[in-house]
Amino acid sequence: MPDLSHHPRGERISEVLEKAMAAGKPSIRANFWGYYASRLPVVVYDFTVSRHRDGPDDVLANFEGNLLGDCWSGFQKIDVRSDSRITFAACWAHARRKIDECRGAFPLQVAKLESLIGMLYDVEDQIKQLDDTERLARRQKLSRHVLGLIDEYLASEAMLPRQVLPKSNLGQAAAYVRRHWQALGRFIDDPSIPIDNNDCEQLMKRVATGRKNWLFKGSLAAGERAANLLTIVATAVRNDLDVSAYLLDVLQQALAGETNWSLLSPHVWKQSHPEAIREYRQDERRQAADRNRTRRAQRRQQKN
C-alpha cells in the first residue's frame, strides 16, 4: 500500500481512526463511492473512512470535464478547488425526489412541478438516439422552454410563503431547486451531460446488496480490496461480459506474467473474446428502453 501519511486521504484516515480509538469505539462507519463514466465503458468504486470531500477530490485529481451528481456539500465549489478543470452539474432526479416527498401536504403544487419535470424527461426520451448537434438544438429549444416554465411556477402565487411556508418540506425542496438552479440547467448547454445521474445511483445497489453479506470489512485494506473488486466486476458487467470467464482469463494471464493491464481492462479484453459477450443483456436494455418510451408516449397522449 502506498504511503499516504502526508496525503489528504492519509491524513483523514489517521484523524478518523485516532478519534475512534480515543473514544473507545470498536469500529467506524466507512463509505463506498461510485463513479460512472458516461461516455466510457468504465465504472469505479472507492472506499473512504468518512464522507469528507477529500475522497472525491483525490479520485478526480486528474479529471477534466463535467461532474454530474447530487448537490452534496462536498461537490460545491469543486470548480474553484479544481481551478476550473471540473464543472459541476446537478441531477434532476434528486430534485424531483425531494419534491415528490412533499406530495402528502402539497398535492397540487407537487403534481404541477412533477408534470413540468416530466416534460424535461419527455424531451430526453425523444432525443436519446440523436447525435450531439441535434440533441443540443432540441435541448436549447424545448428543454430551455420547460425550465422557464418551472422557474415561473416556483415564483407563482401557488408557491408564495402564504401558500408554502419556507420551512415546510416543499418550501425547502423549492429552495433546493432555486439554490442549485444554475447547476441543474447545465445540461441545456452541453449534450454530453445527462439530465440525471441515475446510472451512477444504480452502482450503489451492489453495495447495498453486499452490505447484507459483509456488514463489517475488518480493516482499511479489506475495504480498499472490496472497492477494487467491485470496480473490476461492475465494469465487466457494464461491458456485458461473462464475469466468471473474464476473471478466470485475467487471473491466468496475470499469473503467467502479463503486466500490460490496459489490455486486460474489460472494454479492451472483450474485443478479442466475443464469445464471452452476453448479448442478451443488450437485448434486455433495448426492451426496457422500448417499454419506457411506450409508457411515456402513452402518458403524453393522456395529457393531450
Cell numbers standing for residue 224: 480498499
Q: Output the pLDDT for position 110.
A: 97
Q: Which amino acid is at 301?
A: Q
Q: Output the pLDDT for position 9.
A: 83
Note whether 81 and 74 are within 8 A (CB).
no
Express as a percent the part of the chain with pLDDT over 70. Answer: 97
Cell numbers standing for residue 287: 426492451
Q: What is the pLDDT of residues 174-184, one digit of tens each?
A: 999 999 999 99
Asked whether the predicted pLDDT for residue 279 surpasses 70, the reply is: yes
Q: For the whole model, what pTM was predicted?
A: 0.85
> What is the mean predicted confidence (pLDDT) over 254-268?
94
> What is the mean predicted confidence (pLDDT) over 170-198?
96
Q: Output the pLDDT for position 264.
A: 94
Q: Output the pLDDT for position 44.
A: 95
Note whether 147 and 188 are within 8 A (CB).
yes
Does 26 or 149 have the greater pLDDT score?
149
Does 303 or 44 have the greater pLDDT score?
44
Number of C-beta neighbours around residue 156 at 10 A: 12
Q: Output the pLDDT for position 252.
A: 96
As a whole number, the mean pLDDT across the chain is 90
Asked whether the predicted pLDDT for residue 303 surpasses 70, the reply is: no
Q: Output the pLDDT for position 1.
A: 46
Q: Output the pLDDT for position 6.
A: 59
Round to whole Å and give the CA distance between 152 and 139. 18
From 215, 211, 209, select the one nearest 237 (Cα to Cα).
Answer: 209
Range with the poorest average pLDDT among 2-16, 55-69, 149-163, 215-229: 2-16
- Residue in this structure with the C-alpha cell 466507512, named with its chain if needed: 30
Q: Name 153's Cβ contacts closer than 8 Å, sequence gap at least 6.
A: 112, 113, 116, 159
69: β partners: 90
From 69, 70, 64, 68, select the one nearest 86 (Cα to Cα).
Answer: 64
Express as a percent the part of the chain with pLDDT over 90. Answer: 67
Q: How confident is the model at residue 208 (pLDDT cuts 50, 70, 90)?
A: confident
Tell me the C-alpha to C-alpha distance, in Å, between residue 293 and each of 29, 145, 296, 302: 40, 22, 5, 14
Q: Output the pLDDT for position 80.
A: 87
DSSP state, residue 41? S
Tell me the C-alpha to C-alpha distance, in Å, between residue 136 and each of 59, 122, 141, 148, 191: 29, 15, 9, 17, 5
Q: Output the pLDDT for position 118.
A: 93
Establish how many alpha carbons lie within 13 A of residue 8's alpha carbon, considering only the half-sphere containing its beta carbon.
10
Q: Output the pLDDT for position 111.
A: 96
Q: Output the pLDDT for position 102.
A: 97
Work out the burial of residue 34: count CB atoms within 10 Å of its CB; fewer than 13 is exposed, 13-18 middle, 19 or more buried.
buried
> What is the mean predicted confidence (pLDDT) over 237-250?
96
Computed on alpha carbons and rounded to an integer, the radius of gyration of the chain in Å comes to: 22
Does 4 or 236 have the greater pLDDT score?
236
Q: How confident is the model at residue 284 (pLDDT cuts 50, 70, 90)?
A: confident
Phi-psi category of residue 4: left, alpha or beta, with phi > 0 → left and psi -120 to 50 → alpha: alpha
Q: Indicate the length of the chain as a whole number.
A: 304
Q: How confident is the model at residue 291 (pLDDT cuts 50, 70, 90)?
A: confident
Question: Exposed e or buried b for every residue in 98-109, given b needs 16+ CB within 10 A?
Answer: bbeebeeebeeb
